[in-house]
Structure formats: C-alpha cells, structure tokens
Chain A
Amino acid sequence: MSFGRMHRKEDARFIRGRGTYVDDVKLPGMLHGAVLRSPYAHARIVSIDTSAAEAHPKVRAVITGATLGGLNLAWMPTLSNDVQAVLATDKVRFQGQEVAFVVAEDRYAARDALELIEVEYEPLDAVIDARTALDDGAPVIRDDLEGKADNHIFDWQAGDKARTDELFERAEVTVAQDMIYPRVHPAPLETCGAVADFDKVTGKLTVWCGTQAPHAHRTLYAMVAGLPEHKIRVISPDIGGGFGGKVGIYPGYVCAIVGSIVTGRSVKWMEDRSENLMSTSFARDYHMRGEIAADRDGRIRAIRVKVLADHGAFNGTAQPTKFPAGFFHVFTGSYDLEAAHCEVTGVYTNKAPGGVAYACSFRITEAVYLVERLMDVLAAELGVDPAELRMRNLLEPDQFPYTSPTGWEYDSGDYPRALRLALDMAGYDELRAEQAAKRARGELMGIGISFFTEAVGAGPRKHMDILGLGMADGAELRVHPTGKAVLRVSCQSQGQGHETTFAQIVGQELGIPADDVEVVHGDTDQTPFGLGTYGSRSTPVSGAATAVVARKVRDRAKLVAAAMLEASPDDLEWQEGRWSVVGDPSTGKSLAEIALAAHSNLELPEGVEGHLDAVTVYNPPNLTYPFGAYICVVDVDPGTGQVKVRRFVAVDDCGVRINPMIVEGQVHGGLADGVGMALMQVMAFDEDGNHLGASFMDYLLPTSMECPSWELGETVSPSPFHPIGAKGVGESATVGSPAAVVNAVVDALAPYGIRHADMPLTPANVWRTIEGRPF
C-alpha cells in the first residue's frame, strides 16, 4: 500500500527556504574561520609569519601546522590508510592546500586576515602528469613518509592473468584502446562546511557538518582527536547535495574543531566554490588501456586492462579497505566472457586528494566507461552494429546468480529485455536510417549505446570495511501509543528523499500511512551506528534494515494482538495491515490499536516486554546489481565541433521501486552528470600545477539548456535476497550515461575514421579530433 508515487515530505521546508543547511546554523557568539591556501603545487615552506593577522582587531586565533603539531593533529589519517596534512608543516603538495586557519568575528574579517599572513615558499618541481610520476628522477612528493623515494602508492590486480593472456594469444580478433577518464569534481551546489562547538564545561564537542557519513566521522574524530566518542556529537543537517564529495573528513573540519577548542567559542568554516573545486575530493582521473579479445562473429572472450590511477598528493580515496581501486573489477560489465584481468597502479601527483566521488559506486563509472567504449571499438573493428554486438554477448536471465570472471556474484537481471525496450523506445532502426541519410548529406549524427551493470550496497562486513568499520547499518523503530512511528537510520540523505521513501518502507511493512512515520537521520546522538550514504548503498543496506526492523515490530505486535484477542499467536495471520485470527478478518487489530494496547495495562505473556519497538543491524549478504540500457542521440556541427544531445533514452532496472517518482528524479540528475562529464567538465592543470578549472567560469556544469528532455523506461528484476527486492539506483545514471554520450559522438565522427576521443568533448576538442589533432 505504501510503495508508489508519493510527494516528498522534505519538500515542505525546502520550498519555503526553511531547510537547515550547515551555513544556516548560527550559534551564540559563533566565530568564523577561513583557510589560507597554497599558491604553489609543490614548495617547501620556509617560514610563516602570522603576527599581522593576529593583530587584526577582529581576529581571535591563527592556527598553523605548528600549532596543530603540538596537538598531534597536523596530519590526519585518510580513508585509504594514508595520512593527509591538515595544515602543511614541511611543504605544500598541491595548489590550494591548507596552510593556515584564521578565526575571526565575522566571515569578512577572517578573509581580510588571510591577506595579512606572510608565507615564504621555496618552489619545487611538481609532478603533474601521472604518466611521469614513476619516472626516474621524478620529484618525490611524499618525503614525509619514512623511506619513501618514489611516487608509487599501490599495485593491485584482479582476475585470472594466465587464462586471460592465453585467450588473447589465440583470439581471432583483438582490439586495444587507450582512454582517459579525466579528473572531474562532484561539485555539489552546497560546498563543504562545518560548525564546531566545544563545550569546555561538559567536555562535549558538537559538530554540525554536511557529512554523508556522520557516524564514521564521529568515530574518526574520537580516534584522531583523542576525545571520548560519547562526548562527540556529529549532526549532519540538510545537505545541499553530496555526490560523494562529502564522505571524507577535510582539513577545514579539523581546523574548525581546533578553533573552537582554542577560542572556547563555536567556529563556523564554510569553503567557497573555488576552494571546493581545488581541495575537496576529485573524481576519476584514470588512465586506462583496455583490450578486448573476440571471435570473428563478435563473441567476446576476454578483457584485459591496465590502469594508471592519479590519486593526488595524499591517498584519500574513499573505498572499502581491501579495494584500493574500488570495485573497478566489475569491468567485465554485462557480458558473458571467459576470463578477465586488470592491473591498477596508483601514483602520487601534486594535486588534491580524492578519486572516489561523484556517484562512482567505488570506481564503477570508470569500469563501465571502459567496457562500453571497448565494445564500440570492437564493433567498429568487426563492422557490426553496436546494439547487435551487445545483444550477442549479454548475460541471459537464466545465468543469474552469475559469478563474473573477477569474482562478483550478480544477483539478478534480464538484460536482453531491457536493451530491447530501449531500442524500441528510441526507434533504433529508424534512427540508423536517419543517420545514413544525414551522412549522405554530410551531416554528423551519432547514436551511442551503453549497457551497464552496477554493483551497489557495500557491503558484506566480512569483505568490506572502511578503516576497520564494517559496512553494516543499524535501524531503530519505535511505535508511539497512538500508532505513529519514528524510524532512526544511519544513512544520511543529501536530497535522495530518504525521509519519504524510508517512511514508505515502514508503511508498507506495518500497514500505516507513510505520513505517520518520522524518519530521523544525521544526528549521531539520535540514530544507530552505520556507515552513511554513498555508493547507492542506502536502499540496499539501510532500506533492508528498515524492512527488517519493521518486521521485528510486526512480530512483537503479533504477540500483543494475541493477548488482546486471547488467542494463540500461531492462530494469527497478517492481512491487509492487521493481525487477525486465521479465517476471521473481523477480529483484526490494526497496528495503531495494538500499539495502544502494548502501552496499556493489558496483561502480556511471559517474556513480552510491552511497548512496540525494535532495533536491528543489517549485514548485507551481497551487493545489489541494478542495470540499465541507455541510448543517446547527438548532432555534431562539423564546422564548430558543437555537440547537441538531441535525445536520451534510459531504461533502468533497480528491482522493486519504492517510489518511482523519486527514482526518476535520481536518474534525471545522473543523466545530466553524464552529459556534463562527457561534454563539458574537466579539472585541467598547467605544467606548474596551476588549477585551470577552479571556478564555475571554467569548470562547466550543464544548465537547463544543455540537457534534453529525458525519456525513461523501466523493467523490474527484484534482488532475490533483499528483504523488499529493491536495489540501489542513485548512481546508475551517472555510471551508465557518459559512455552513451561519448559513443554517440564517436559514432557521429565515424566518417572521419575516428574510433575514440577522450572526454570532455567540448567543441574545441571535437573540432581538433576532426582535424586529426587530438588533444
């Protein structure tokens, strides 16, 4: 009764300007912090003179790496077991790195005071191009690490190398393609920020911070700052978009906390857009060489991949501990092949840390882009239509659960049905006919397909943890005497509508209106422990926990109903949202009636505690594997290189849809990401490491003018093990769509003999590609 389209509960405040985002938090006596940043990509710090800043009448504190060093906080652990400088002590390692922190009476004064700090730098040669990071004689970026004499971070591999090599040796056809997934940035519209309030009397630290993982932040603050965990409260208020950019702990948060401890007053730190783009988590930056082996008839046999991963100056990549390249090894995609192997090498460069962000599901954006580009390169080599090539190789429904050559166990799917639906919706044959006619006239039209399989819902705690914290999530449900309920969850919405959809899950399970369920999230004092929202894991993990905890409440309600009806619990059945005696619906007791009885003087059987509540922790047995078939149609102006996305058809299958309206909104947003990444967005650097895309003037995001009207379709392949059959979906469109757009543009350029072009396909880059001078 509760699944289905439902208007969002959270909208009421947002459309009135009554949301509470972190910069809306105002505490008595609150001070404002600002960060001084490095103008150099790589330079030794000779001296820092803060005396003039400290003399500013409105300045209350100036904090440097030396200050933090005294507290053992100059460096902090990252989510990849590396360390990152909070404030630079020895040298700066990327442009925009945090060097000093000023605390002042207002945000204007704090910025003024930054100008008064004198830093003397001794510039060093920088490593900007990852392909040179491991060269002999390359400048060593991380000389802070004991004995470190190069820029190598890790080598990691997955799959069966011997078997893969063997298949390549005897393959009828092989193709190889180098491709770069450029460095981009999630750029949530709200930047990162925090308000820290340390109460010296109670010893309690409260941090308002737009974090996607408030509980993990609390635990890390306890470990890093040495404050006892029960004296730390992290409140993640309304968040103006996260997209993976608000998972980790940034130096500004630590500085705000130290600022509050030092001044005894609350301190707000709010970064501006250029700081956000320069210093918070980037995404992608994978240099990939993909190879695919196939039979002459287009049956693919194996895929082999080498990746050079640019991680910036500190390895701050957010992913489960055992997976330094995330889940990149789902790169075999949606296809039935015999063997695969990948090798990933991570390197340091003089750039900001990050890597896993921007709806990537732990590097699956890169994996899907690789395989879907390779499929088109192979199709071109074989002269086979790319839709036909995919159809010949897709996994069949009876192969699920399917164990992939790199070890993933896909849960369910009907891929051919989804692809056929997308082709029908697009009118694929007509599009090809139109394209042929246009080519005959010298016009450039392209059709791009992407068929993707996602892997979301991290994850089984046996295999997946972040800094030792297993990726299970708690849920608590309390039903009040009058039948209204409060659900407390550890995931943290950044716009995905959890307050609505999680209430719908409870409503579905308990037969009460979703409007009667309040969803509490984001406050570590108020919610059970869990790892937060990213990797499209909320529905797979916290959504499952919600269904499980509601079922526990329903079971308790059964015992109470049995006492009310003076019947044996074994004689009761749950029907239409009521417990009733089997075969006699008229005896039914609704959850509201049972709730009141559970709080009354009704005599309950031995061992039944009364009241109506439950807690649970859900440890997922596997990930969920949503999938989709996307088709993009573009027109390219041969004179200017301008690409116009004319149509975009997207068929998504995320199993059971809790709220189709919200799913569609998630998909729309992700498709816009894909168009943006494919055509506009890149974080470029010059040879000295100057950031060339550090504002919205240069880091281009799609507006309403660049986006077409999306055409959505759906199929439903429930996840067999998930309590309500639902899979995650939030990142699917961001993961699946860039390849469709690039495939479309490359298809449009086929008359020039072009088989690949790297993102972003800006007019200049397309034009250069046409001219045979790729960038």
Chain B
Amino acid sequence: MRVEITVNGQPHSREIEPRLLLVHFLRDTLSLTGTHVGCDTSSCGACTVLLDGEAVKSCTVLAAQADGCAVTTVEGLAGADGLSPVQQGFRQCHGLQCGFCTPGMVMAATALLAEQPDPTEQEIRNGLKGNMCRCTGYQMIVESVQWAAANGGAK
C-alpha cells in the first residue's frame, strides 16, 4: 500500500507493507535512526515520536496508521545548527549517558512541556514514566526537563 507521511516537515510517499511498524518506517525506510527500539512489548519508550503533536511509541503504531499525518522525530526538533531547549537541557544537566533512551526521552519531554509548561518534579516523573532509562537513574533527566522548562520550554 502507498502512504503519505510528513516527517520533520518533509513529505514522503512510499509503498509499504501494511504490517510495517512506524519505527521501522522511520529507521529502515527513511534512515532516521535517532528513534530507537528497546523492547518488543511497548514498554520502554525509546521509540517515542510525535504523531500530529502527540507522543506515541512508534513501535506500536503501524506506518499505515500514520498515513496523512505529521511525524516529528528527534532529528526534526531543532533547526540545522540549533538545539531545542529540551535537547540543551539534557546536555546541560547530564541527562544522558549511553544516549539510547535519549531521543525518545527528549520527545516525551517535549510533549510533556507542550502540555504542562511548568511541571513539578512529580509531574515530570509521572509524565516520563513510559520511558525507561538504564543509565541515569532518572534524576538528571528530571533536572534536564526542569532546565528546559525554565529556558524556553517545548520550543
């Protein structure tokens, strides 16, 4: 089947299998490899992207379901040389180590700040509970989001 999906502002028209997962469409078909796969049960959130502005786990969306939609991945968060406040926050506050959860975490945090520009610590922890991290113990991720909230928010 043919789908038309806008990714990071760029329209793409592709012939795909109906069973193709959105995460594989992004990674394998479009070579946008920032979005990662960490599990097979929709638990880890490493594949989180924005689908028409809403955070979704792209391992649990068929590419076919994104037909006609706009997808934002970590590669599309900032301009060519700039970084979004959330991306800056993660670097400022050491909110990443191996970097594998980071793209999904950054996308989830971006969606969170769009909804709640000034979240409490508990709201941040609650807002990111769909995203697992094995390296940071989460605290500096919380601080990264707080930094972003104070420095421009969701962008």
User: Which residues of A are in contact with B by a Cβ distance under 8 Å?
Assistant: 7-8, 10-21, 23-24, 26, 106-108, 187-191, 238-243, 272-274, 494-497, 661-662, 664-672, 695-697, 701, 703-705, 707, 709-710
The answer for the CA separation of A664 and B97 in the assembled complex, in Å, is 11
Chain A: minimal CB distance from B138 (Å): 4
Check B38–A189 contact: CB distance below 8 A.
yes
Note all chain A residues with C-beta closer than 8 A to B121: 709
How many residues on chain B are close to A (CB under 8 Å)?
58
A13 vs B100: C-alpha distance when bound (angstroms)? 11
The answer on a CB contact under 8 Å between B94 and A190 is no
**B75 close to A (CB within 8 Å):** yes
Is there contact, CB below 8 Å, between A14 and B96?
yes
The answer for the CA separation of A26 and B33 in the assembled complex, in Å, is: 10
CB-nearest residue of chain B relative to A186?
Answer: B134
Contact partner of B134 (CB less than 8 A), chosen from A10, A272, A667, A669, is: A669
Q: Is the CB of B91 within 8 A of A709?
A: no
Chain B window 123-139, contacts with chain A (Cβ cutoff 8 Å), 1 for yes, 0 for no:
01110111111111111
Distance of A213 Cα from B37 Cα, bound (Å): 23
Q: Does residue B142 face the partner (Cβ distance < 8 Å to A)? A: yes
Query: What's the minimum C-beta distance from B79 to chain A, rounded to whole angstroms?
Result: 11
Give chain B interface residues in 1-41, CB to chain A under 8 Å. Answer: 17, 19-20, 24, 27-28, 31-41
Does B102 lie within 8 Å of A14, measured CB to CB? yes
B74 within 8 A of A: yes
Given known A-B contacts A17-B34, A17-B75, A189-B134, A495 and B99 have beta carbons under 8 A apart? yes
Chain A residues, CB < 8 A from B139: 668, 707, 709-710
- Given A189-B134, A710-B137, CB of A273 within 8 Å of CB of B40: yes
Known contacts: A190-B98, A494-B98, A495-B99. The answer to whether A17 contacts B138 by CB under 8 A is no
Report 24 cross-chain contacts, Cβ distance below 8 Å, ordered by A residue: A7-B94, A17-B73, A17-B75, A108-B20, A187-B134, A189-B98, A189-B100, A190-B36, A238-B98, A238-B99, A239-B98, A240-B38, A273-B39, A665-B97, A665-B137, A672-B136, A696-B39, A696-B41, A697-B41, A697-B43, A703-B129, A704-B124, A704-B126, A704-B128
Q: Is the CB of B142 within 8 A of A15?
A: no
> Which of chain A's residues have a CB closer than 8 A to the CB of B44?
189, 273, 696
Provide the residues of chain A in CB contact with B87, threshold 8 Å. Answer: 15-16
Q: Given A108-B19, A668-B140, are A704 and B129 also a contact pair (CB < 8 Å)?
A: yes
Q: Do B17 and A705 touch across chains, with their CB atoms under 8 A apart?
A: no
Partner of A189, one of B28, B31, B46, B91: B46
A187, B135: Cα distance in complex, Å: 11
CB pair B43–A696 under 8 Å, yes or no, is yes
Residue in A10, A189, A697, A709 whose CB lies within 8 Å of B101:
A189
Chain B nearest CB: distance from A449 CB in Å? 20
A274 to B37 alpha-carbon distance, docked (Å)? 13
Bound: A21/B128 CA distance, A: 23
CB of B150 within 8 Å of the partner chain: no
A661 to B37, CA, bound (A): 28
Which of the residues A106, A669, A709 comes within 8 Å of B135, measured between beta carbons? A669
**Which chain B positions have C-beta within 8 A of A661?**
94
- Whether B71 sits at the interface, judged by CB under 8 Å, is no
Report the Cα distance A494→B97, complex, angstroms. Answer: 8
A16-B74, A672-B137, A710-B137 are known; give 9 further A-B pairs, CB within 8 A: A11-B99, A16-B83, A107-B24, A108-B19, A665-B135, A665-B140, A670-B137, A696-B132, A709-B142
Nearest-neighbour CB distance to chain B for A584, whole angstroms, equals: 42
